[in-house]
Structure 1
Amino acid sequence: MTITQNELESRLWDAANALRGPVDPADFKTYVFPMLFWKWISDTWVYEHDSAFDEYGDDLDDEIEADFHRFELPKGTLWSEVTEKVTNLGAEIAKTFQRIEMANPRSLAGVFGDASWGNQERIPESALLGLIRAFNKITLDPSTVSHDLLGAGYEYLLKNFADESGKKAGEFFTPREVVNLLVGILQPEPGESVYDPSCGSGGMLVAMINQLRESGKDHRALKAYGQEINLTTASIARMNLFLHEIEDFDIKRGDTLRAPAFKDTTGAVRRFDVVIANPPFSLANWGADRWTSDPRAICGVPPAKNGDYAFVQHMVSSMQAESGRVGVVMPHGVLFRGGAEAKIRQGLIEQDSLEAVVGLPPNLFYSTSIPACLLIFRDKKPAKRKKHVLFIDGSARFIKGKNQNLMSKEDVSVLIEAYKTGNDPDGANVRLVPFEEIEQNGFDLNIGRYINVAAEEAADLGAVLVAYADARQHRMDTEAEMFKRLAAAGIDLSVFGASDE
């Protein structure tokens, strides 16, 4: 008997609520997702075993049966074999996860994360038993729950966990309307490679897959790659992709800026058709000391206390020639900040890889209320957009929410259409700005310099930023003229210690 999406979501949330009280809601994902994944592969293994027996009967042997299974589950690791044990249940579960990972080293090594299952202060046995009882009410084999349905259930849990986690959610969850906007702009195609250097729970990679599936294209031909610094979150991303029926993917754990995991045979960063990310904003301790000789610093080394342009340059360096395109979520500061960032920004504009700047509504994200923007890069821009940058103001395209603002499907569609056509379809201010005008503005990309910003909150911020940038430039010009005159008078300028950084 199949299950409906509402029934599945209700039962999954019941499972999560079994932990409420002794377990912090921010930690629900640490325990619920590994148990969900184990229940799925266990129920599926039993289904596959029954299918094999139905076909071969008494002639079935281990060698024949192995062809029916996607994953190997050693004897004693099935859900039903472990969850009925009455002593040291948490420790038994941890041991089971290790055995399953060891039996599937190429596909499942480390997939269950590093939760302390045997630590009853973290997860009391009563909470663990409640979680098991809730999952016992759901059968997760292919005859009951399709991959599409299970993937949607996983996404439902991620969204609910993000709502429960508050600002901590920014570490693993990007609002789906922002993801869908980026994916709609970048337009992945079957057979292409897609890469997220700060992939969190894998939501952007999954959205790429979903778009292909919904458009009737072969989503299984997409090759997905990601890197994530947090072990638990990287594990959640891998489970997410497995549950969405993706065969060709590789999620690696590690620090993308200090140690990029994907390299080509020459040791350079590997290149991909589509590069997409919502990296942590304005990361302070990002490893600037290693970038002075890093080939990814294509336009300069970002400030030691702000890694925004380190992520941007890493992504642009990872963009495939000809077909490559990049979409990245950034704070508005990258559009106007001075010093080293201004030089990098100028370099990226001069090399003509920046295609578009899209202003987003305020208060969309869990981790911050400040408005953000999308930067779109393309290795080979359309002829009409060469030596131009497309500016799109989407600041007014939102629905006011209790904690975060929301974008409707229509809002997202309008902005995608504005990007594709370069026109104003419905309340999205759009303008294709020539290089010369940007150069005259000192390579400042503040959206308010080029088009009217609609949303009041964003408009106020835009006006302040433009005024700040103008005042700062005026100060710099005045200082430059002063130092010029002092130098002409023979005064040693080193005593002033002047710097524009």
Structure 2
Amino acid sequence: MNQQALSALIWSVADLLRGDFKQSEYGRVILPFTVLRRLDCTLAPTKMAVLAEHQAKVAADLPFEPFVLKKASASFYNISPLDLPKLIGDQDNLRANLHSYVQGFAADVRDIFEHFDFANTVERLHKAGLLYLVVEKFAGIDLHPDSVHNAQMGLVFEELIRRFAEISNETAGEHFTPREVIRLMVSLLFVEDDEALTKSGTVRTIYDPTAGTGGMLSVAGEHLADVNPGARMTMFGQELNPESYAICKADMLIKGQDVRNIVLGNTLSDDGLPGRQFDYMLSNPPFGVEWKKVEKEVRREAEEKGFAGRFGPGLPRVSDGSLLFLLHLISKMRPAEQGGSRIGIVLNGSPLFTGGAGSGESEIRRYVLENDLVEAIVALPTDMFYNTGISTYVWILCNHKVEDRRGWVQLIDASSFWQKMRKSLGSKRKELSEAHIADITRIFGGFLELDQAVVTDAQGKDLARVALFPDVPLPSAPEGGKVRRVPIAKVFRNEEFGYRTITVERPLRDAAGNVVLGERGKQKGKRQPDSSLRDTENVPLAEDIDAYFRREVLPHAPDAWIDHVRTKVGYEIPFNRHFYVFEPPRPLAQIDADLKRSTDRIKQMIEGLAG
């Protein structure tokens, strides 16, 4: 059974719930029962051996847990003689037996169901007379890992969460990231790590501070396993939403991960893994969400710890906390001499340019660029995410750049790399193909500056877009059409994104037009500025301020001067500006001819109506 059919089968439980549960509550039943059945099926082959081992160790007055775990061949266990098929054989005692069965799990598993608020859900089902029907339905679904592998189970979880979010009018994007976006990010992170990709026995750590249901962690683990089965990925994460946390923890449990590495809580106000550093980090923090709820804790850390804490470089405006997650990730990078770290984070357009010189956002950009942490920024197509159609960007950061990349940032405009989905999912209408991911990874891995050939027909409609790799020839133009080259990858020095904001003053004049001079103190005899005429200019870091001033300002305002005390350094990354290609308008004669044809046609239509 494929993933979509299995998701539909599981979601069909909703048919039983109509009338007794609101639509927005369906997920509170379906999600924990899906996890329960998955765990139930996973433990089924070793069930009898586990029970026998448990009885023997209890009889011998020995701690049973390590022995039982070994018999279970998993990182969890259940010492209850019950399972879902047995539960439906005793309908009269189903509620009590189900509670007993859940309590038989290891403590980490019980924690999962506590965060699902499973006990209250069972009580509601019992009172509505639905408990037996729901348990019977799930007992008939085979979710054993041999039938539904971990990757497919992850997709099933995602589909169920998406349906739950849609029907609840919630934000699906808060729970998970599209799989192909994660695959792209993972490919970009791994492309330069030859050791992890080739050597047997390699161990790497990966961390997601906004783990959701664990999709990013899972895809990273699957990718490494595909290319190097002898390597091992240890996964860490933190998640704010209790249900997403519960699903993530269940998924990690089944994969054999240490679920103590998955913590619940707000990453910004309460770092659940303090002092830990990781090889790789991935995150898709919420776009444009304010951090007012945690403002007190964040500001306290910034003021008390400075650069010894997470937020030393600066704080963005309260209306968008995405750059706080970036700083959090940077604080968890291993020192370069210990192997360093690489980060992939999805951000919207705002962190690229919002905030002038001296603002929190600008200071954060200044920090990452002056410390040579940004390897690349990749623009994704619009309509890629379930909850928004806005432009998004993948930032790749690294504190152990290879020699060729040091001091440089690569910008990749992959906004045209997409194919239309057969069926839209929320706001998601486009997806990346495997070929798109491969091309973007090749551009990044090769540190290329690259153009794309856009082939259009006689009417100007796009027929094809071809990335002009060194081994790809320029395509021919069709009859009446044309081929134009547009840039899709460029490389810039870090300092090219920097500028100085200078304050240009003009003299204050009295009613007679005379310049007003200061009369006392340090200002005595000096021209006084007119605040109403004050202006600012942004001067590129690479350019001499005085030379710029003489060329751009003095010819227009000979009496102006610079107030050097007010000069500030700023950084911005005007992504779209670097990829803008001017297309001259058509010749005026063509436009006039088109207008004449249109007006003649309108005139004929009016004459026809009059006749």
Q: TM class, shorter-chain normalised?
A: 0.7 to 0.9
Q: 1 CA distance for matches of 2:238 and 2:581? A: 35
Match of 2:436 among 411, 417, 421: 411
Alignment match, 1:465: none
Check whether the contact 1:275–1:315 (CA below 8 A) recurs between aligned residues: yes
TM-score by length of 2: 0.64
- Structure 2 CA distance for partners of 1:88 and 1:299, relative to 1, 3 Å: farther
1:392 to 402, 412, 435: 412
In 1, Cα distance between the equivalents of 2:122 and 2:146? 35
CA-to-partner distance for each residue in 1:136-170, whole Å, 9 max, x for gaps?
22234456555455455445544555565565212
Aligned to 1:491: none
Instruction: Establish whether residue 80 from structure 1 lines up as the match of residue 104 from structure 2.
Output: no
How many Å apart are 1:325 and its aligned residue? Answer: 0.6
Pair 1:279-2:285 in alignment? yes
CA-atom RMSD in angstroms? 3.3
Distance 1:177 1:452, change over 3 A: farther
Aligned-partner SS, 1:380: coil
Q: State the AA in 1 paired with 2:223.
A: Q
Which among 563, 574, 590 is matched to residue 446 of structure 1? Answer: 574
Amino acid paired to 2:341: G
How do 1:183-332 residues align onto structure 2 when only pairs under 5 Å count? Answer: 183-187=186-190, 189=196, 190-218=202-230, 221-246=232-257, 250-264=261-275, 270-284=276-290, 285=292, 286-287=294-295, 288-290=298-300, 291-294=302-305, 295-322=309-336, 323-332=340-349
| Matched residue SS, 1:235 | helix
> Whole-Å Cα distance in 2 between the matches of residues 200 and 453 of structure 1?
39
- Letter in structure 2 aligned against 1:213: A
Q: Residue 292 of structure 1: SS of its match in structure 2?
A: helix
Distance 1:337 1:90, change over 3 A: farther
2:495 equivalent to 1:436? yes
Structure 1 unaligned residues grouped into runs of 5+: 265-269, 455-501
Other-structure match for 1:475: none
Q: What one-letter code is carried by the residue in structure 2 that aligns with 1:182?
A: M
Distance in 2 (CA, whole Å) between partners of 1:453 and 1:162 is 40
Q: Which structure exhibits the higher relative contact order, with contacts defined as CA atoms closer than 8 Å and separated by 6 or more residues?
A: 1
Aligned-residue sequence identity (percent) comes to 24
Segment of structure 1 superposing worse, 424-433 or 153-162: 153-162
Measured in 2, the distance between the counterparts of 1:312 and 1:362 equals 22
Shift in CA distance, 319/118, structure 1 to aligned 2, threshold 3 Å: same
SS at match of 1:240: helix
1:121–1:144 distance in 2 versus 1, CA, 3 Å: closer
- Quick one: structure 1 residues 252 and 51, their matched pair in 2 at CA, closer, same or farther if it must change by over 3 Å? same
Separation of aligned partners in 2, 1:52 and 1:236: 25
Question: Could you tell me how far apart the structure 2 residues matched to 1:413 and 1:166 are?
Answer: 35
Note if 1:100 corresponds to 2:104: yes
Looking at structure 1, the residues matched to 581 and 253 of structure 2 have their Cα atoms a distance apart, in angstroms, of: 42
1:350 counterpart residue number: 370
Letter in 2 for 1:300: G
CA distance in structure 2 between the aligned counterparts of 1:161 and 1:396, rounded to whole angstroms: 31
How far the C-alpha of 1:91 sits from its partner, in A, is 6.7
How far residue 393 of structure 1 moved from its aligned partner, in angstroms, is 0.9
The count of corresponding residues between Structure 1 and Structure 2 is: 438
Q: 1:120: how far off?
A: 7.9
SS in 2 for 1:419: helix
| Contact 1:18 1:134 (8 Å CA) reproduced | no
Residue range with higher mean Cα deviation, 112-121 or 428-437: 112-121
Question: Mean Cα displacement is larger for which, 172-181 or 23-32?
Answer: 23-32
Give the Cα separation in 1 of the matches to 2:391 and 2:147.
42
Conserved in 1, the CA contact under 8 Å of 2:38 and 2:144?
yes
After TM superposition, list the pairs within 5 Å mapping 1:88-127 onto structure 2. 89=94, 93-94=98-99, 96-97=101-102, 99-101=103-105, 104-105=106-107, 107-112=108-113, 113-115=115-117, 117-118=119-120, 123=125, 125-127=128-130
Secondary structure of the residue aligned to 2:116 is coil
Task: Give the conservation status (yes or no) of the 8 Å contact 2:85–2:136.
Answer: no
Counterpart CA distance in 2 for 1:171 and 1:412 is 23
Larger displacement relative to structure 2 (134-143 or 198-207): 134-143
C-alpha displacement of 1:407: 1.7
Name the larger-Rg structure: 2
Q: State the distance in 1 between where 2:494 and 2:120 align.
A: 61
* Residue type of the alignment partner of 1:394: A
- What amino acid is the match of 2:28? T
Match of residue 360 from structure 1: 380
Name the residue aligned to 1:497.
Answer: none
- Partner residue in 2 for 1:373: 393
Instruction: Give the aligned partner of residue 137 of structure 1.
Output: 140
CA distance in 2, matches of 1:372, 1:83: 48
**In 1, Cα distance between equivalents of 2:169 and 2:189:** 29
- Find the counterpart in structure 1 of residue 183 from structure 2: 180
- Please say which of residues 404-413 and 327-336 is displaced more in the overlay: 404-413
Cα shift at 1:195: 0.4
> Does the 8 A contact of 1:89 with 1:118 survive in 2?
no
Task: Name the structure 2 match of 1:336.
Answer: 353
Mapped to 1, the partners of 2:147 and 2:348 lie a distance apart of 43
Q: Match for 1:301: what amino acid?
A: L
Aligned residue identity for 1:38: L
Q: Distance in 1 between matches of 2:407 and 2:162?
A: 40
In 1, Cα distance between equivalents of 2:123 and 2:260? 36
Q: Residues 280 and 6 (structure 1 numbering): CA distance in 2 closer, same or farther, change over 3 Å?
A: closer
Provide the rounded CA distance (Å) in 2 between the counterparts of 1:173 and 1:238: 14
**What SS is found at the alignment partner of 2:428?**
coil
Structure 2 residue 190 is matched with structure 1 residue 62: no
Counterparts in 2 of 1:336 and 1:247: CA distance versus 1, 3 Å: same
Counterparts in 2 of 1:40 and 1:388: CA distance versus 1, 3 Å: same
What one-letter code is carried by the residue in structure 2 that aligns with 1:14? S
Query: Alpha carbons of 1:361 and 1:22: their partners in 2 closer, same or farther (altered >3 Å)?
Result: farther
Does structure 2 conserve the Cα–Cα contact (< 8 Å) formed by 1:91 and 1:117? no
Aligned residue identity for 1:100 = G
- What is the alpha-carbon distance in structure 2 between the residues aligned to residue 159 and residue 92 of structure 1? 31
Q: What's the TM-score once normalised by structure 1's chain length?
A: 0.77
Deviation, 1:116, is 5.2
Aligned partners of 2:323 and 2:361 also within 8 Å: yes
Structure 2, unpaired ranges of 5+: 58-63, 197-201, 453-465, 468-486, 500-539, 541-569, 583-611
Indicate if the aligned counterparts of 2:253 and 2:259 stay in contact, CA closer than 8 A: no
For 2:334, the aligned partner's letter is Q
Distance 1:436 1:226 in 2: 34
Matched to 1:439, the amino acid is G
User: Is the contact made by 2:151 and 2:222 (CA closer than 8 Å) also made in structure 1?
Assistant: no
User: What displacement does 1:366 show?
Assistant: 2.3
Secondary structure of the corresponding residue to residue 362 of structure 1: coil
